[in-house]
Structure formats: structure tokens, C-alpha cells
Amino acid sequence: MKPFGYLRARSAEEAVREHAAHPGALFLGGGTNLVDLMKLGVAAPDRLIDISGLPLDHVADTEDGGLRIGATVRNSALAAHSAVRTRYPALSQALLSGASGQLRNTATTGGNLLQRTRCAYFQDTSKPCNKREPGTGCPALDSAQRDLAVLGHSTHCVATHPSDMAVALSALDATVHLHGPDGGRTVPATGFHRLPGDTPDRDTEIRPGELITELVLPPRPEGAASLYRKARDRASFAFALASVAAVLSVRGGRIEYAALAFGGLAHRPWRARAAEDLLRGAPATEETFERAVDAELAAARPLRENAFKVGLAHNLAVDALTELAADS
Ligand SMILES: Cc1cc2nc3c(=O)[nH]c(=O)nc-3n(C[C@H](O)[C@H](O)[C@H](O)COP(=O)(O)OP(=O)(O)OC[C@H]3O[C@@H](n4cnc5c(N)ncnc54)[C@H](O)[C@@H]3O)c2cc1C
Ligand code: SF4
């Protein structure tokens, strides 16, 4: 591992200032992804700015009934928080479906959002990879990996985004708050992660030196319930083959509000806008759910070994919507 400097930041301002002074630096949250990548030689920062002790560990109500979540809140604390469990169960369920208890005790909200893809070639420095070294190629395109993208991929990269939490945040319309050398700004969670296009080395819209300070969830839409479902190869720490976060409210048998996001299918959480358009105002029946989900997944372009993901995602989404409708 390359030698690196270390600073434990005492404030967000100090962390950002320190990063601006050392462009080769990286922020360190819980380290559960970054330290692994450093050991593999995939990441080689010359300085770590430890932000895990910053006073950003709050979970607090907003004035309008939403929720503010600090960037250093641990995944396990967030999943267990009563406001999250009662008002945003999809977020709690997504967090609990990810990693292991020990990892969730260490992993932070900000680090979870910025974890890197698990594409095997990305993590193997003996192989080319456009995401790790732009312009070197994408061996995954000709591979038989099952966990690659079926939506929104390009000839430059076919990797999937790994975070379960990010899928729930997309369906819940969260906002990501950033603090950087040019001040603060916000980015909707739905637009925070990118599709690969011809620049797969950029996972997100974050700018160099920007620190995630908090996430803000809007108030839950009136009468809406939410849930997260994930299909994976084994029940203990495995990334999603396909997953879905669904938010639904039904009144008088008709759908008043619907939000749907898929995980494990694309380079970013996939917000299912085409399905949502067909759901809103329609009768809350399995037939409606089937039609809406089919319309969304019609855009899928499976690769060699992953066509099964389309049917898997379809069944997860229809089941989730049916369950939410039955409970409303
Ligand atoms: C065996 C294993 C299984 C796993 N399974 C799952 C799973 O099923 N689902 C899932 O979603 N995840 C899974 N994970 C991933 C795990 O959730 C992430 O490693 C963790 O959430 C990352 O958080 P962290 O705080 O440790 O991030 P770190 O490793 O500290 O950082 C990750 C990245 O974020 C940057 N960063 C951290 N905080 C900030 C901030 N506030 N602002 C700007 N940049 C920041 C760092 O510079 C780094 O680039 C698994 C991990 C392991 C090791
Ligand atoms: S799919 Fe993306 S991450 Fe994987 S080898 Fe290709 S470019 Fe690299």
C-alpha cells in the first residue's frame, strides 16, 4: 500500500479546507470500502481526511415533517432510528439488507452513497477497466458476470451501482447536501449518481473536494407506505441481483401516489418514471402493477448472462406494489 498522511478533521470546514490544500486526498468515513480499495491498489490517496468524528451524526425532524440525516450517522443507527422505521420503512429495510451487522455499525451514510462498484474487473488492477483507468477498455462486456447492468449501460461500462440505501433514497426523493470549496449546494438523490456514458470513471455528480454533510428526506406523502425488497445469492451479506424500493398511497381503490426505484439493474439507482406515470390515478390492481412495471422494463438490454434479472426485478416490483396496496 502506498504511504499516506492522516488528519482527523474537527469540522466540515476544516475537512474541506484540508482537501483543497491536498488534491490527492480522500475523505475517510467508516473506511469499509475505501480501505479495501487501498489494499487492492485501486485507490491510492496521499492523505486521508478522517471525517468519521465530525458532529454530523444527527437524525432530526425538519420543520415541514421531513427528516435530516447527518453524513456520519452509522448505517445501523439509521436503520434502527424510530423515525426511519415508522415513517420511511423502505430506508430502514434497505439498510438492513446491506452488508453485515459489524459493517453496518462502522459504515457511514456519506460513505454508503459513495461506495464503488463491485465489478470484479474494477477491483483487479491486473485487468483493464475504463472506470479505474479511463480509455483502457471494459473486459466485463465480453464476460459471463451475472451481476452486470441491464438498463442504461454503455459500451464503456456495464457495471451496477452497489448501494441498497441509495435505491431507497431515490424512491423517497431525498436531497443530498454538499459542502465544498465554493460553498454549499444540494443535489436530488435521483440525479446524484450517473449513468456511465463515455465517462464511467465518474460515479456521481459530486465535485472534487466536496463533502456530503447531510441527506434530507421530504415529508412522507399523505397516506403513503413504503418498502424495500432485495433478491441476492445468499441471505448474509450479498449485493443485490435486483432490488426495488416502492412508495404507494391508495384511496378508494385508486393509486394517489406512487414512486418506484430499482437497484442492481444499472450504474445508478433506477427511478422508474415510466411505471410511475402509468400507476398514478389507475386502479390499484395486480394488472395495473404488471402493466406499469413491464412498461419500465421494456427498456432493458440484458447482456450475456443476466437476462434473468429482468424477470426478477419484475416480480419483486409487482409483489412489492401488491403488498403495499393490500395494506393500504
Ligand atoms: C463484505 C461486504 C458486503 C457488503 N454488502 C453490501 C450490501 O449488500 N449492500 C450495500 O449497500 N453495501 C454493502 N457493502 C458496502 C458497505 O455498505 C459500504 O462499504 C459502506 O456503506 C461504506 O461506508 P463507509 O463509511 O465505510 O465508507 P468509506 O469506505 O469510508 O468511504 C467510501 C467512499 O466515500 C467517500 N466518503 C465517505 N464519506 C464521505 C462524505 N461524507 N463526503 C464525501 N465523501 C465521502 C470516501 O472518500 C470513499 O471514496 C458491503 C461491504 C462489504 C465489505
Ligand atoms: S463494467 Fe465498468 S467497472 Fe467493470 S470492467 Fe467495465 S468499465 Fe470497469
- pLDDT band, very low/low/confident/very high, at 325 (cuts 50, 70, 90): very high
Q: Which cell numbers in the block locate residue 257?
A: 401516489
Atom of ligand 1 nearest to the CA of 56: 41
Give the pairing type, strands 5-8 and 270-271: unpaired
CA 163 to chain centre: 4
Residue nearest to atom 3 of ligand 2 (CA): 122
For the stretch 193-233, pLDDT in tens is: 999 999 999 999 999 999 999 999 999 999 999 999 999 99
Ligand nearest the Cα of residue 119 is 2
- pLDDT band, very low/low/confident/very high, at 70 (cuts 50, 70, 90): very high
Map out the domains of the chain with their CATH numbers. 225-327 (3.30.390.50)
Atom of ligand 2 nearest to the CA of 149: 1
Ligand nearest the Cα of residue 158 is 2
Ligand 1 site residues (CB inside 6 A) read: 26-34, 51, 71, 75, 98-99, 103, 106-108, 110-112, 114-115, 162-165, 211-212, 237-239
Percentage of residues in the chain having pLDDT higher than 70:
100
Residue nearest to atom 6 of ligand 2 (CA): 138
Residue 295, pLDDT > 90, answer yes
Mean pLDDT over the full length of the chain:
97
* For range 83-97, the mean pLDDT: 98
- pLDDT band, very low/low/confident/very high, at 235 (cuts 50, 70, 90): confident
- pLDDT band, very low/low/confident/very high, at 65 (cuts 50, 70, 90): very high
Residue nearest to atom 34 of ligand 1 (CA): 111
Atom of ligand 1 nearest to the CA of 114: 34
pTM: 0.98
For the stretch 103-161, pLDDT in tens is: 999 999 999 999 999 999 999 999 999 999 999 999 999 998 899 999 999 999 999 99
Ligand 2 center from residue 155 Cα (angstroms): 10
